[in-house]
Structure 1
């Protein structure tokens, strides 16, 4: 009976989420940003119904408990990429019953693949013996090195006097950043600071939490990237939803994001603006769906790039004079300097079409399965915190870029070597090939 009610609650939460996205788009985002591509072509009831069916199909196989990191990644992609990809194209495309339906079927298949990862038999992992204090020292040394690079490049200053004008901050940041400092920024903000927040909450250490939050605010004051400022909230929200070993993670996560959608609209109603819906809904939730539609339309009729701008550059000739994000930025937004960075599936389609979407998903499945196997002997909250921000980057970044630039590889290294306590949940821990640690070593 409890399972039945949980499923009803999940379906209800997703229904409100979809309604909230549609309302935000038609009443707040499109009226304010139609000049920027967020148009409303008033899709028919049948078109919207088909899209909603695609939204709800994954709920047939989904349960409430997230007992592996791969399931957390699944729900991040479902809420922030898959659902918008089903809903948003209806409003910007003339015909929603052409090949876009095939795209939606392929995305549905990919969601099923990612969900299945959480049920795979774990790989036996041999852990190199390293004392916890030694690994903590090496991690702290690594963090200090990153801060050294950041400070050497940008100096020590909190530019909060300019926070209201984030575009100036971003322009200044782009003029100063280089490859090395860019890596340092990403690894510190997406991995190390997230680790500090997780360790602080697990061990009830307020100092670590404060250091993590202040670190994010300092990086935001340099980059002007609101995702950095919001990342602390995102990580804390994920950790809050993981209470009781993630037994009700899905309900907490779905209703948390749904509440955020309606809260931002309420704030804009009170202030007679579109500022909050633009920040929280347009940028974080609507744009991934919009860009996936644009990438699909463009690379359905123009040559795909086959990674000729990336790892296959030495072997293939790139067919354009601009990288894919700038191609989309110029073609659909009319701005030659706009990098319309897209998600894992949009990038996959730009490279190899449907095969690229499925291929990059299979690669992600392999990565998540290995991470699940490593995490079986590690604290669940710490493991999730390390992978959550790199997973979030998949919302607007390619998988290949996320592996190194956004820290997936670094998350693997830290989670492998840093021994943390794993609490056993007898209701869900069914794979007994791993002896879970009862204390820090």
Structure 2
């Protein structure tokens, strides 16, 4: 028992040190690389030392609160993930680019609520004993298989004529391919659900149940949809799924595994940029996934604090209720026009910027409590089914919080579909 307590204490000490290292690297990369290569996107340095100091002070306070994490709780892991990848870059840009204190405080309050209600209000969810002679069973498998075949047929028939294998594999000219892709016949929703939820879930389910044929079918299906559309997120999702399989033994301590992995990624990208004067990791991954959504959140705040809130008029619920709109195009294209001088730029951002656009600080708080409820509900799945399949199924849907509003993340982003699928999955003896 004392040895276990000592190990946990050591893990938490490492956990406290690594995020500070990540934030320092985050700042250095923004100063030395992103601001020089990607300045035209708005990454322009305007260092405010008071704001920078304030952002580090809030970081230390929240890290102290985060040390209360329980490695048995999946919701605690998700909290740490969004803290590192959504909140920390918000703080970095706040100090290094002299952005709004008001918005930074709103973001900080949102994360204080998330940390407090998830890490300090315990749901008392017990972890089920998972036996060796158990398989996972999904009640709706026939429906999932029919949807998969239909999606394969619809996407192939509509887009086989645009196939450009060379452009897709290079990952450089994929946008030329993506401009030609059609998503008719219900594919606006089904393609997203298939690549973000259904395929990863079926790959994980087949892997756990040792159904190799089915697993390779869905791996091939995911690869084909990437080749067909050039959507890099489709490929990225598959790569991460395979990485999770490779390091499945580390999933018991997801929090530390993620923190160490993110630290390693930042170190490698920093060395790459320093030694080669160029970084593929930063350009393709870190800039797009971490820095850009944070910058866009500030843009949304700057624009809609002047132009007024949109009250969810551009969401599905807004359209159903007939809420009037202020613009003839969706707001993400307005931001693209105003800040990137391009009417075709779809500048989507995460829940902080999107929900500020919808309802100001109240909108951010509403989204915050939806996230809290969602994350706490996921503990029930991980306790019953294990971390591997839950992590793989929720991986890409949760990513929607980085680049869309909360209601869109629930529907188009696949969080609701993932919730339904996991709730209908159970363990059976064989």
When the two structures are superposed, what TM-score results if normalisation uses the length of structure 1? Answer: 0.84
Does residue 92 (structure 1) correspond to residue 131 (structure 2)? The answer is no
Gaps spanning 5+ residues in structure 2: where?
A: 1-5, 127-135
Does residue 29 (structure 1) correspond to residue 34 (structure 2)? The answer is yes
Structure 2 residue aligned with 1:59: 63
Structure 1 residue aligned with 2:265: 260
Offset at 1:40? 1.1
* Runs of 4 or more above 6 Å deviation: none
The separation in 1 between residues aligned to 2:229 and 2:305, in whole angstroms, is: 34
Does residue 50 (structure 1) correspond to residue 50 (structure 2)? The answer is no
Offset at 1:252? 0.7
The separation in 2 between residues aligned to 1:3 and 1:122, in whole angstroms, is: 20
Structure 2 residue aligned with 1:172: 180
The separation in 1 between residues aligned to 2:110 and 2:203, in whole angstroms, is: 33
Structure 1 residue aligned with 2:398: 391
Alignment of 1:69-108 (within 5 A): 69-93=74-98, 98-108=101-111
Cα distance 1:178–1:70, how it changes in 2: closer, same or farther (>3 A)? farther
The separation in 2 between residues aligned to 1:346 and 1:26, in whole angstroms, is: 23
The separation in 1 between residues aligned to 2:105 and 2:274, in whole angstroms, is: 38
Offset at 1:204? 5.1
Cα distance 1:83–1:322, how it changes in 2: closer, same or farther (>3 A)? same
CA contact (8 A) 2:348 2:404 kept: yes
Structure 1 residue aligned with 2:364: 357
Structure 1 residue aligned with 2:112: 109
The separation in 1 between residues aligned to 2:185 and 2:84, in whole angstroms, is: 31
Does residue 402 (structure 1) correspond to residue 406 (structure 2)? The answer is no
Offset at 1:380? 3.1
Structure 1 residue aligned with 2:3: none
CA RMSD of aligned residues (A): 2.8
1:229 paired residue among 231, 235, 257: 235
Does residue 282 (structure 1) correspond to residue 287 (structure 2)? The answer is yes
Does residue 414 (structure 1) correspond to residue 421 (structure 2)? The answer is yes
Offset at 1:51? 0.9
Aligned length: 410
> Any idea what the Cα deviations from partners look like across 1:145-166, whole Å, max 9, x if unmatched?
2222222322388633112311
The separation in 2 between residues aligned to 1:106 and 1:177, in whole angstroms, is: 39
Cα distance 1:211–1:360, how it changes in 2: closer, same or farther (>3 A)? same
The separation in 2 between residues aligned to 1:291 and 1:85, in whole angstroms, is: 10
Structure 2 residue aligned with 1:220: 226
Structure 2 residue aligned with 1:184: 190
Offset at 1:13? 1.2
Offset at 1:331? 1.3
SS of match in other structure, 2:404: coil
CA contact (8 A) 1:73 1:388 kept: no
The separation in 1 between residues aligned to 2:72 and 2:341, in whole angstroms, is: 45
SS of match in other structure, 1:377: helix
Offset at 1:335? 1.2
Alignment of 1:112-261 (within 5 A): 112-113=115-116, 115-116=118-119, 119-121=122-124, 132=137, 135-155=140-160, 159-163=164-168, 164=170, 165-173=173-181, 176-178=182-184, 180-203=186-209, 207-238=213-244, 243=249, 246-261=251-266
The separation in 1 between residues aligned to 2:91 and 2:419, in whole angstroms, is: 32
The separation in 2 between residues aligned to 1:239 and 1:119, in whole angstroms, is: 30
The separation in 2 between residues aligned to 1:157 and 1:66, in whole angstroms, is: 46
Gaps spanning 5+ residues in structure 1: where?
A: 124-130, 421-438
The worse-fitting range, judged by mean Cα deviation, of 275-284 and 259-268 is 259-268
Structure 1 residue aligned with 2:379: 372
Offset at 1:7? 1.7
> Any idea what the Cα deviations from partners look like across 1:37-95, whole Å, max 9, x if unmatched?
11111332x322211222233322335644344233322211221111121232333x6
Does residue 322 (structure 1) correspond to residue 329 (structure 2)? The answer is yes
The separation in 2 between residues aligned to 1:179 and 1:109, in whole angstroms, is: 43
SS of match in other structure, 1:419: strand
The separation in 2 between residues aligned to 1:156 and 1:270, in whole angstroms, is: 42
